[in-house]
């Protein structure tokens, strides 16, 4: 019996030795932050018991699972300048978190169809902007540590907080710069929502993209319209053929007609790549100049406006309640 036990012991010791050698051989590359499953799916271990989100990284073509709050750090870093006031960054964090959970499958959301099982993707054009730590390092250079900790503070200090209206997470919209007022959602999207009303957004005139202008030659202008609407526009008669027809309550253009075709200003904005639907037209001899005010659709929070409110002393809840009327701010859990 004793001999047999010794043999077992030797086998066990040899087994442990082999295992130790194998582990050492594999650890040559240093600590591995990711638990690799298959090359297209990596799992970043959540640092705590936060909710997890599955994000499709469209730049790397990988489905990444991570803590929702860690994901939001990458969103805020991509969505708002980290130099903005902390209270504005916190308002952005709550807005982005609300936007995110509405889309997550675990909350009954539609997810993202770019990858099987994805809740959201990192593409601004498809779902929501998200940037990696490497991109932050590149963008922020010597300010990396400072800006990362600001963004992390904005996210972690509002952990779990979302905006709700009548108990449901709201449909979130935000944009860069207003024209001085926000827009009714119904003017831009398919339907109005009670918490999107026209409100003042002051102090943005000095923002880099508050004023902009683009010029087209008369021919170019006519050609773009013709290509999109299959209707002839006379390059020599633009002043009489192009007319702004109506304005929205916020002072943005509502409708415009070109050679008898009436368009929504949102379609006109897309067609000519304008910063906003608050525009004026100036017809020169050979060219047309379109001057815009603001940058973005104007629905909900203006990021510049949020920064300006914070500078004037508002906290993130006051900022959110200004741009999203009648909402409550509470935890999703
Ligand atoms: Zn997507």
- Give the angle 251-255-259 at the CA atoms, nearest 5°: 140
pLDDT at 16 over 90: no
Ligand 1 center from residue 299 Cα (angstroms): 21
Work out the mean pLDDT of the chain and round it to a whole number. 89
- Residue 239 Cα to ligand 1 midpoint, Å, equals 41
At 6, the pLDDT band (50, 70, 90 cuts) reads low
Quick one: CA torsion of 205, 176, 324, 124, rounded to 10 degrees? 180
Helix (H) or strand (E) holding 128: none
Q: Please determine, for residue 3, whether its predicted confidence score (pLDDT) is greater than 90.
A: no
Read off the pLDDT band of 13 (50, 70, 90). low
In percent, how much of the chain has pLDDT > 70?
85
The whole-angstrom separation of Cα 313 and Cα 185 is 27
SS3 293: strand
Q: How far is the CA of 134 from the centre of ligand 1 (A)?
A: 21
CB-count exposure of residue 127 (10 Å: 0-12, 13-18, 19+): buried
In the chain, the N- to C-terminal Cα span, in Å, equals 59
Mean pLDDT (whole number) for 222-227: 97
Higher-confidence residue of 116 and 8: namely 116
Cα(94) to centroid(ligand 1), Å:
20
Determine the distance separating the centroid of ligand 1 and the alpha carbon of 92, expressed in angstroms. Answer: 20
For 304-319, the pLDDT digits (tens) are 999 999 999 999 999 9
Q: What is the pLDDT of residue 180?
A: 98
Confidence bin at 147 (pLDDT 50/70/90):
very high
pLDDT tens-digit map of 37-73: 444 554 444 444 668 999 999 999 999 999 999 999 9
Residue 112 CA, ligand 1 centroid: distance in Å: 4
Spatial separation of the C-alpha atoms in residues 179 and 182, rounded to whole Å: 8
| Per-residue pLDDT at 37 | 43
Low-confidence winner among 13-27, 52-66, 217-231 (lowest mean pLDDT): 13-27
Find the 120 Cα to ligand 1 centroid distance in Å: 5
175 touches 306 (CB < 8 A): no
Residue 287: both structure tokens together: 């060219």
């Amino acid at each position: 019996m004793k001999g047999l036990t010794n043999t077992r012991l030797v086998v066990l010791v040899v087994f442990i030795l082999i295992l130790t050698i194998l582990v050492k051989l594999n650890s040559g590359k240093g600590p591995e932050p990711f638990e690799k499953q298959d090359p297209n799916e990596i799992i970043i271990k959540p640092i705590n018991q936060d909710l997890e989100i599955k994000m499709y990284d469209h730049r790397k073509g990988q489905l990444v699972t991570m803590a929702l709050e860690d994901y939001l750090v990458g969103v805020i870093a991509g969505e708002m300048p980290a130099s903005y006031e902390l209270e504005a960054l916190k308002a952005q964090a709550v807005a982005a978190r609300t936007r995110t959970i509405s889309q997550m499958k675990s909350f009954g959301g539609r997810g993202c169809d770019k990858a099987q099982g994805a809740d959201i993707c990192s593409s601004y054009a498809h779902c929501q902007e998200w940037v990696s730590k490497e991109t932050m390092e590149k963008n922020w250079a010597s300010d990396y540590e400072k800006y990362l900790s600001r963004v992390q503070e904005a996210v972690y200090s509002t952990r779990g907080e979302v905006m709700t209206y009548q108990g449901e997470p709201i449909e979130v919209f935000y944009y860069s710069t207003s024209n001085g007022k926000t827009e009714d959602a119904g003017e831009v999207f398919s339907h109005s929502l009670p918490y999107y009303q026209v409100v003042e957004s002051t102090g943005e005139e000095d923002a880099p993209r508050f004023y902009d202008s683009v010029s087209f030659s008369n021919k170019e202008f006519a050609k773009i319209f013709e290509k999109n609407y299959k209707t002839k526009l006379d390059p020599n008669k633009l002043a009489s053929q192009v007319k702004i027809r109506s304005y929205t309550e916020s002072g943005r253009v509502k409708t415009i007609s070109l050679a008898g075709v009436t368009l929504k200003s949102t379609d006109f904005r897309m067609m000519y790549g304008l910063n906003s639907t608050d525009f004026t037209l100036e017809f020169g001899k050979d060219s047309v100049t379109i001057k815009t005010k603001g940058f973005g659709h104007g629905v909900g929070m203006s990021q510049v406006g949020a920064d300006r409110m914070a500078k004037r002393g508002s906290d993130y809840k006051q900022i959110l309640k200004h741009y999203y009327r009648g909402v409550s701010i509470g935890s999703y859990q």
